[in-house]
A = this chain, B = another copy of it.
């Protein structure tokens, strides 16, 4: 993984997603600038970080650009996908169960957890659902790296602690609670109010 400035990483992730949306074989920094609103200079500087072979007049090869971004972001599309789980299958959790989000991505949703055993027996999902009791067994045995945390606020910290003990690498936190986690655990806080505040303060 190349050591990239945070903003560059964020832009590259967006660029990669844009490239997937395009059907052309090549794309210029001018086109990318028009699509994103970022300056051509910014885009060229971001792409320079990738140490690709120079783009031709017709622009960068979209396939090359995509794989260069993947490798810069530590994503190796030839290896197995990174396994993820959802913890908490109430309304939000079960909405995220729709794993079409994850198609063509380097991540794979492989398990869901909920304390309500009736609920997990009733729910439909393309991957297995377990009782939260089994979290300590399933996270390591299924090689789950990341969790989407959608439990209620009052249980968020406790479940996060259990995920950490079970060996999780990172948590996408949909709750309102700011989690207290060891420094080596990755976390993204994505509840709508925090996102709105960030956006509003821009």
* A→B interface (CB under 8 Å): 1, 4, 6-7, 9-10, 13-14, 17-18, 21, 35-37, 72-75, 82, 84, 91-92, 94-96, 98, 101-102, 105-107, 146, 148, 170, 172, 176-178, 180-183, 186-202
Q: How many copies does the complex hold?
A: 2
Given contacts A91-B94, A96-B192, A178-B21, whether A201 and B14 have CB atoms under 8 Å apart is no
> Is B37 within 8 A of A181, CB to CB?
yes
Alpha-carbon distance between A98 and B75 when the two chains are bound, in angstroms: 35
Neighbouring B residues of A198 by C-beta, 8 Å: 9-10, 13, 188
CB distance from A98 to the nearest CB of B (A): 6
Neighbouring B residues of A75 by C-beta, 8 Å: 197, 200-201
Residue of B nearest to A34 (CB): B180
Alpha-carbon distance between A163 and B91 when the two chains are bound, in angstroms: 26
- From the candidates B95, B186, B192, B197, name the one contacting A101 in the complex (CB within 8 A): B192
> Is A197 within 8 A of B106, CB to CB?
yes
> Is A190 within 8 A of B200, CB to CB?
no
CB distance from A99 to the nearest CB of B (A): 10
